[in-house]
């Protein structure tokens, strides 16, 4: 992979190529990421190196993937996919010949995106247990998860388009998760000890009633639609397309998983900004000639 990527590593040129991957190939992309960061510590522009792979990725597929690299896997992958994701993009989708429903198809193993800091991942299928555990800043879309999803998550954004297992959001202190709750049973599968479950309103409603900073400074509806569009573009997800095509109905079935500590922090940031703006306005008024008493 490193040799085929040299035009990008050495001259900043865009490269694309195709490889076959097997389950004995572990940490695919990690050595390439190391080579990239040696010469480009901040990474390369998005999608500078795009590698299409076919087959089954071994453990830790895409581990520590650096900014500028896209791994586009047609097939499936094992445990720890995207571990420590560091700015790159991982896409895993089934073959175009696949005729099943993505929401019923396991496509990646357990503990995917463990400790992922930046970057994005799109999985057109269901993940195993402990999806996005300790996620701290990356963005991910998946069509279902096993037990303990978003456990100890501290930052980032996760969108789940299908059912979750039990104990979702246990120990979750930051970031936001959106879950498509088609059967209305998600609350019983979520660990509510550190999070609040909220409905997703329209962007206009959220902006009008805002008394808090918004996650990533964008309304939930805006972020959701963007994630669905990106997921459909990268994976061809039928579920994402259907949700977008019937958006008004779909939006009402999304649940926002909002960590209590993060919610408090956003509200405090908003209050400080309001106070700062108010102080600045008052200072400006005090400087006006008409505000000075004439003796």
Give the model confidence (pLDDT) of 217-234 as tens digits.
Answer: 999 999 999 999 999 999
Instruction: Check residue 233 and give its pLDDT.
Output: 98
> What is the spatial distance between Cα 115 and Cα 156, in angstroms, rounded to a whole number?
11
For 92, phi then psi, to 5°, come to -130, 125
Q: Which of 193, 204, 190 is nearest to 150 (CA)?
A: 190
> What is the spatial distance between Cα 105 and Cα 193, in angstroms, rounded to a whole number?
30
Stretch 8-22: mean pLDDT: 97
Is a pLDDT exceeding 80 seen at residue 283? no
For 250, phi then psi, to 5°, come to -60, -45
Q: Which of 47, 131, 91 is nearest to 232 (CA)?
A: 91
Least confident range from 216-220, 222-226, 235-239, 290-294: namely: 290-294
Residue 159 corresponds to which tokens in the numbers above?
């969108």
The pTM of this model reads 0.92
Is a pLDDT exceeding 70 seen at residue 2? yes
- Show me where the domains of the chain are located: 1-93, 123-283
For 73, phi then psi, to 5°, come to -100, 125
Q: Is 124 in a helix, a strand, or coil?
A: coil
Stretch 21-29: mean pLDDT: 97
Task: Provide the edge-to-edge strand list for the sheet that holds 118-123.
Answer: 15-21, 49-57, 69-77, 86-93, 118-123, 136-142, 154-160, 174-180, 254-259, 195-199
Instruction: Check residue 284 and give its pLDDT.
Output: 47
Grade residue 289 by pLDDT with cuts at 50, 70 and 90.
very low
Quote the DSSP letter at residue 27.
S
Q: Which numeric CATH code is attached to 123-283?
A: 2.160.20.60
Instruction: Check residue 282 and give its pLDDT.
Output: 56
């Amino acid at each position: 992979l490193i040799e085929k990527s040299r035009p990008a590593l050495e001259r900043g040129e865009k490269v694309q190529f195709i490889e076959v991957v097997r389950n004995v190939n572990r940490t695919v992309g990690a050595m390439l990421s190391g080579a990239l960061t040696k010469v480009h510590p901040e990474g390369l522009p998005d999608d500078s190196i795009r590698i299409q792979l076919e087959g089954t990725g071994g453990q830790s597929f895409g581990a520590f993937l650096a900014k500028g690299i896209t791994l586009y896997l047609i097939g499936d992958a094992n445990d720890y996919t995207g571990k420590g994701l560091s700015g790159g993009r991982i896409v895993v989708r089934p073959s175009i010949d696949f005729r099943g429903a993505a929401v019923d198809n396991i496509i990646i193993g357990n503990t995917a995106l463990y400790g992922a800091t930046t970057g994005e991942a799109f999985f057109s299928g269901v993940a195993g247990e402990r999806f996005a555990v300790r996620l701290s800043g990356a963005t991910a879309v998946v069509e279902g998860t096993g037990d303990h999803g978003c456990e100890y998550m501290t930052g980032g954004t996760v969108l789940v388009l299908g059912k979750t297992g039990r104990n979702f959001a246990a120990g979750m202190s930051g970031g936001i998760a959106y879950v498509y709750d088609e059967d209305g049973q998600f609350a019983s599968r979520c660990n509510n000890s550190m999070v609040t479950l909220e409905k997703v309103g329209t962007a206009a409603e959220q902006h009008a009633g805002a008394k808090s900073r918004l996650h990533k400074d964008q309304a939930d509806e805006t972020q959701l639609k963007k994630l669905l569009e990106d997921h459909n573009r990268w994976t061809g997800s039928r579920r994402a397309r259907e949700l977008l095509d019937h958006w008004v109905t779909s939006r009402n079935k999304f649940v926002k998983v909002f960590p209590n500590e993060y919610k408090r922090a956003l509200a405090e940031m908003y209050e400080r900004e309001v106070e700062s703006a108010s102080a600045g306005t008052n200072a400006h008024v005090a400087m006006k000639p008409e505000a000075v008493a004439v003796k």
